[in-house]
A and B are shown apart, each in its own frame.
Chain A
């Protein structure tokens, strides 16, 4: 039986986090009323002209630097010509001849720990298209140009990946880098990160690549994994049946777990690229270039090292916390206030993760402020509240970002540290539970646990357990 190898390259589109569009000053905000974020430029009105948003260049350069690319300091835009109603000018302003970044690569690590570098062929800047909405009743289609002109970068990898695992590892890494840069939120579901998979198979040991197909419409990592596996099998089946793989674009239907041919190379479009005459070449001066470099934030690897050194938290903690930029930001901001990195890390890794899972939320959806988490930690450090109360308070912080000091005060949750009051409650507990006292004295030291529990119950949880233990021991002996 023949052994086959999968060869995969990715084209990843990332929507940049600029406030305004790439060639006009319309808002990029998601979800406005149709055509409410439009102007003559992004609707292709005759006589309108594009003006480049400099922030797009800065983000593209930042991503290029973070992925070890060479930056084209004198780059240009080109027009890609094709007719489609979501494309108001019937051409897309993109980059073909001189893309802004070239020849880079990032190192990935798959779950089994193997490390590998995935080459990045190029990164180019371009504009997004509008959206077609098909009228379900009539025979009309409507166009919403709110997305038209939203800035994108397309990151084109080399065909260096050999499995779905590698693809996912590459995408995760890319996403993390871009999120760290603040260049995009990279949400696959919302389309701010989209990946097209170019895949071919070849017999193990062959030098030449097989015929590849391009798969579109992959909206989640799971879909990408299934599509890769499905397409690999489809191509192998064809080859083994003596048929040929046709170079074509296919659309993945994740529900049916099958891909459908969209267009083959024979009727592929000729995009008639040529240099965009309405824009001047983008010249990134040495000054501008070094400004962008200087503003480059700390990326994950550097952050990881720093956390271990500066905060002396375990590798395990540092790994998890730096795996998400938002989480790392919360960690640092909270630690800066309460100066207790290990406790902050614990709250994030245990309670926060538990609540996220419970509410089916993403880390990006966290709304609580570092100030309130820091206050909570300080309350526990001062023994003003005990750990079970703290957990209860944290749930309120997590859901409503309440001020824990005020909340504890208002709800009377403060630990009772008045020795006399606690002492009389314990005396009563001892008097009410002679059996447990006897058990304790007869050597069943565990019986003290029951008495602690009874005390806490009587105190409505507001006692410091250490103090309860201490007084109990004193009174029993």
Chain B
């Protein structure tokens, strides 16, 4: 088996044991990328020379004891909305097509400190707006399980790269399900930590109050190790939280005895694909058999999550994306007549349709006369949703749900009907609104052979419970490599 078929932790172990070098690991990653990119298109930028140089440096550093962690020398792919000094960071948008950041995002710095070797930057929905990775200015990423299907989004490039074994693991970001949903579609494990756990410094903002960086990997162990590496209290990010502890790996225990798991009935009604329902309920059964107490309950307010999310995320996005104006960096239109014409042409040409739609929606809900009716109401809804979760977590250790109502749709199916696409975020979005942690891991496949994801949602700062339950569930299954791997 290729080195990229190993989990990050197993590969790290081999590198530390001297069985393979960091350089060999990187070389294998690039061999895999060269073989599969034409079919998958997971990457926007591949940094072969730089990565091989870096692998040499890390290898030396390991020999001299600078790098000793579990991820030292292991190749990683980074979603293209995290700034990387000297490496193009495009957000898969034409408007940032030539943007070279002058600093590296904090999460990536934490990985680098641990000896990570960055292979390149992964494709995504433009500015993380989308659920399919079809809105990228640099082509559609395809699902490695079936390249006629989307990988999900917006971290579709990261999840596809992990599934296709073009890298050992990847970082993604999750604003409304952007790690968990593509992880589910690609048959990999992805985690969205509690808001404030991983610094957002250097993450190009979509919806600032909802964005959170997290790991995408082959298993729960990798996710726990990666999270432990990237989580930090960062003074450069005012919303970064100082947690009591940053230990996540001690939760890797095959034990769910007595854990109380709630299944929100509201999540299993209309719109949920029957095959997805079946597999997710089967997973609940597995956990029950292992000693968990599984109960159904009413979460309430579920139908308000999507409208509240799109109002808040788009409002923040309309302001966050205002800085892309052709004045300081990025794309500027070729010909223009005066400042306003330059702004208009630059932004009209530089942004794609979905981004423009969300900027307009966001500008509208913030405009005078509409603020109370939309934005303020959405904020109140957000608070109520948080209360509903607080109530649930007073009874349950975690909530079990599908990650998405269906398996990966075919390419081209979603964009024509944005409302339908937005509805696909139903199970992931409330988690961001309430700032909660969530994990998605494979729990089966549908009759078309496409992966289905199981989502576990925890209370704020209770990632360890999720990790423990997910790990226990994982022990009942074998990791399935996708055909393209």
* Residue of A47, A89, A273 with most chain B CB atoms under a 10 A cut-off: A47
Known: A48-B201, A51-B235, A270-B368. A85 touches B319 (CB 8 A): no
Tell me the smallest distance from the CB of A48 to a CB of chain B, in Å.
7
Known: A46-B89, A46-B323, A91-B322. A83 touches B343 (CB 8 A): yes
Is B425 interfacial (CB 8 A cutoff)? Answer: no
* Residue contact B236 to A51, C-beta cutoff 8 Å: yes
Known: A45-B101, A88-B323, A272-B318. A50 touches B238 (CB 8 A): yes
* Residue contact A40 to B99, C-beta cutoff 8 Å: no
* Residue contact B201 to A47, C-beta cutoff 8 Å: yes
Residues 451-472 of B, flagged 1 when their CB comes within 8 A of A and 0 if not, give 0000000000000000000000
Could you say which residues of chain B place their CB within 8 Å of the CB of A45? Answer: 101-103, 329
Within the assembled complex, what's the spacing in Å between the Cα atoms of A170 and B78?
Answer: 57
* Residue contact A43 to B328, C-beta cutoff 8 Å: yes
Within the assembled complex, what's the spacing in Å between the Cα atoms of A49 and B99?
Answer: 18
Tell me the smallest distance from the CB of B399 to a CB of chain A, in Å.
25
Known: A83-B322, A85-B339. A46 touches B83 (CB 8 A): yes
Which of B102, B235, B327, B363 makes the CB contact (< 8 A) with A85? B327
Could you say which residues of chain B place their CB within 8 Å of the CB of A279? Answer: 238-239
Is B226 interfacial (CB 8 A cutoff)? Answer: no
* Residue of B83, B99, B105, B319 with most chain A CB atoms under a 10 A cut-off: B319
Within the assembled complex, what's the spacing in Å between the Cα atoms of A81 and B103?
Answer: 26
Is A443 interfacial (CB 8 A cutoff)? Answer: no
Is B315 interfacial (CB 8 A cutoff)? Answer: yes
Closest to A81 in B: B319
Is B209 interfacial (CB 8 A cutoff)? Answer: yes
* Residue contact A270 to B209, C-beta cutoff 8 Å: no
Is A31 interfacial (CB 8 A cutoff)? Answer: no
Within the assembled complex, what's the spacing in Å between the Cα atoms of A52 and B237?
Answer: 10
Within the assembled complex, what's the spacing in Å between the Cα atoms of A434 and B209?
Answer: 99
Is B422 interfacial (CB 8 A cutoff)? Answer: no
* Residue contact A46 to B322, C-beta cutoff 8 Å: no
Within the assembled complex, what's the spacing in Å between the Cα atoms of A373 and B59?
Answer: 69
Sorting the interface of chain B by its residue count into under 10, 10 to 19, 20 to 34 or 35 or more gives: 35 or more
Is A274 interfacial (CB 8 A cutoff)? Answer: yes
Which of B101, B327, B339 makes the CB contact (< 8 A) with A46? B101
Is A278 interfacial (CB 8 A cutoff)? Answer: yes
Tell me the smallest distance from the CB of B242 to a CB of chain A, in Å.
12
Within the assembled complex, what's the spacing in Å between the Cα atoms of A279 and B91?
Answer: 23
Residues 183-204 of B, flagged 1 when their CB comes within 8 A of A and 0 if not, give 0000000000000000011111
Could you say which residues of chain B place their CB within 8 Å of the CB of A182? Answer: none
Could you say which residues of chain A place their CB within 8 Å of the CB of B343? Answer: 83
Could you say which residues of chain B place their CB within 8 Å of the CB of A79? Answer: 319
Is B274 interfacial (CB 8 A cutoff)? Answer: no
Residues 62-98 of A, flagged 1 when their CB comes within 8 A of B and 0 if not, give 0000000000000000010101010011110000000
Which of B102, B103, B208, B366 makes the CB contact (< 8 A) with A272? B366
Could you say which residues of chain B place their CB within 8 Å of the CB of A52? Answer: 238
Q: How many A-B residue pairs have CB under 8 A?
A: 97
* Residue contact B315 to A274, C-beta cutoff 8 Å: yes
Closest to B364 in A: A272
Is B375 interfacial (CB 8 A cutoff)? Answer: yes
* Residue contact A278 to B201, C-beta cutoff 8 Å: no
Could you say which residues of chain B place their CB within 8 Å of the CB of A274? Answer: 315-316, 319, 366, 371, 375
Could you say which residues of chain A place their CB within 8 Å of the CB of B329? Answer: 45-46
Could you say which residues of chain A place their CB within 8 Å of the CB of B204? Answer: 46-47
Tell me the smallest distance from the CB of B86 to a CB of chain A, in Å.
14
* Residue contact A277 to B101, C-beta cutoff 8 Å: no
Is A356 interfacial (CB 8 A cutoff)? Answer: no
Could you say which residues of chain B place their CB within 8 Å of the CB of A90? Answer: 322-323, 325
Is A44 interfacial (CB 8 A cutoff)? Answer: yes
Known: A274-B366, A274-B375, A278-B208. A47 touches B101 (CB 8 A): yes
Tell me the smallest distance from the CB of A26 to a CB of chain B, in Å.
14
Is A313 interfacial (CB 8 A cutoff)? Answer: no
* Residue contact A81 to B322, C-beta cutoff 8 Å: yes
Residues 120-144 of A, flagged 1 when their CB comes within 8 A of B and 0 if not, give 0000000000000000000000010
Is B55 interfacial (CB 8 A cutoff)? Answer: no
Residues 428-469 of B, flagged 1 when their CB comes within 8 A of A and 0 if not, give 000000000000000000000000000000000000000000
Is B205 interfacial (CB 8 A cutoff)? Answer: yes
Is B96 interfacial (CB 8 A cutoff)? Answer: yes
Interface positions, chain A 390-427, Cβ under 8 Å from B, are: none
Is A363 interfacial (CB 8 A cutoff)? Answer: no
Closest to B340 in A: A83
Closest to B369 in A: A270
Within the assembled complex, what's the spacing in Å between the Cα atoms of A89 and B318?
Answer: 12
Is B348 interfacial (CB 8 A cutoff)? Answer: no
Within the assembled complex, what's the spacing in Å between the Cα atoms of A79 and B235?
Answer: 21
Is A280 interfacial (CB 8 A cutoff)? Answer: yes
Tell me the smallest distance from the CB of B362 to a CB of chain A, in Å.
9
Known: A277-B208, A279-B238. A46 touches B319 (CB 8 A): no
* Residue contact A91 to B319, C-beta cutoff 8 Å: yes
Could you say which residues of chain B place their CB within 8 Å of the CB of A88? Answer: 323, 328
Residues 273-298 of A, flagged 1 when their CB comes within 8 A of B and 0 if not, give 11001111000000000000000000
* Residue contact A47 to B323, C-beta cutoff 8 Å: no
Interface positions, chain B 336-393, Cβ under 8 Å from A, are: 339, 343, 363, 366-368, 371, 375
Could you say which residues of chain A place their CB within 8 Å of the CB of B319? Answer: 79, 81, 91, 272, 274
Could you say which residues of chain B place their CB within 8 Å of the CB of A273? Answer: 366, 371
Could you say which residues of chain A place their CB within 8 Å of the CB of B89? Answer: 46-47
Within the assembled complex, what's the spacing in Å between the Cα atoms of A49 and B202?
Answer: 8
* Residue contact A49 to B368, C-beta cutoff 8 Å: no
Which of B91, B103, B235, B371 makes the CB contact (< 8 A) with A40? B103
Closest to A86 in B: B327
Could you say which residues of chain B place their CB within 8 Å of the CB of A272? Answer: 318-319, 363, 366-368, 371
* Residue contact A277 to B316, C-beta cutoff 8 Å: yes
Known: A83-B343, A89-B323. A278 touches B239 (CB 8 A): yes
Could you say which residues of chain B place their CB within 8 Å of the CB of A81? Answer: 318-319, 322, 366
Within the assembled complex, what's the spacing in Å between the Cα atoms of A90 and B203?
Answer: 18
Within the assembled complex, what's the spacing in Å between the Cα atoms of A253 and B83?
Answer: 46
Tell me the smallest distance from the CB of A451 to a CB of chain B, in Å.
79
Within the assembled complex, what's the spacing in Å between the Cα atoms of A47 and B204?
Answer: 4
Known: A272-B319, A272-B363, A274-B371. A46 touches B201 (CB 8 A): no
* Residue contact B101 to A49, C-beta cutoff 8 Å: no
Within the assembled complex, what's the spacing in Å between the Cα atoms of A245 and B325?
Answer: 36
Could you say which residues of chain A place their CB within 8 Å of the CB of B368? Answer: 270, 272
* Residue contact B209 to A40, C-beta cutoff 8 Å: no
Tell me the smallest distance from the CB of A123 to a CB of chain B, in Å.
22
Within the assembled complex, what's the spacing in Å between the Cα atoms of A81 and B102?
Answer: 25
* Residue contact A44 to B328, C-beta cutoff 8 Å: yes
* Residue of A45, A79, A89, A273 with most chain B CB atoms under a 10 A cut-off: A45
Tell me the smallest distance from the CB of A98 to a CB of chain B, in Å.
14
Closest to A275 in B: B379
Tell me the smallest distance from the CB of A34 to a CB of chain B, in Å.
14
* Residue contact B375 to A49, C-beta cutoff 8 Å: no
Which of A44, A47, A85 makes the CB contact (< 8 A) with B83? A47
Could you say which residues of chain A place their CB within 8 Å of the CB of B316? Answer: 274, 277
Could you say which residues of chain B place their CB within 8 Å of the CB of A46? Answer: 83, 89, 91, 96, 99, 101, 204-205, 323-324, 329
**8 A-B pairs with least C-beta separation:** A90-B322, A272-B366, A277-B208, A277-B209, A47-B202, A47-B83, A46-B204, A89-B323
Task: Mark A residues whose CB is within 8 Å of B.
Answer: 40, 43-52, 79, 81, 83, 85, 88-91, 143, 270, 272-274, 277-280
Task: Mark B residues whose CB is within 8 Å of A.
Answer: 82-83, 89, 91, 96, 99, 101-103, 105, 200-205, 207-209, 235-239, 315-316, 318-319, 322-325, 327-329, 339, 343, 363, 366-368, 371, 375
Told that A51-B235, A272-B371, A277-B207 touch, could you supply 19 new A-B pairs with CB distance under 8 A? A40-B102, A43-B328, A44-B323, A46-B83, A46-B89, A46-B329, A48-B103, A49-B201, A50-B238, A51-B236, A79-B319, A81-B322, A83-B322, A85-B327, A90-B322, A143-B327, A270-B368, A274-B319, A279-B239
5 A–B pairs (Cβ distance < 8 Å), ordered by A: A45-B102, A48-B202, A50-B238, A272-B371, A274-B371
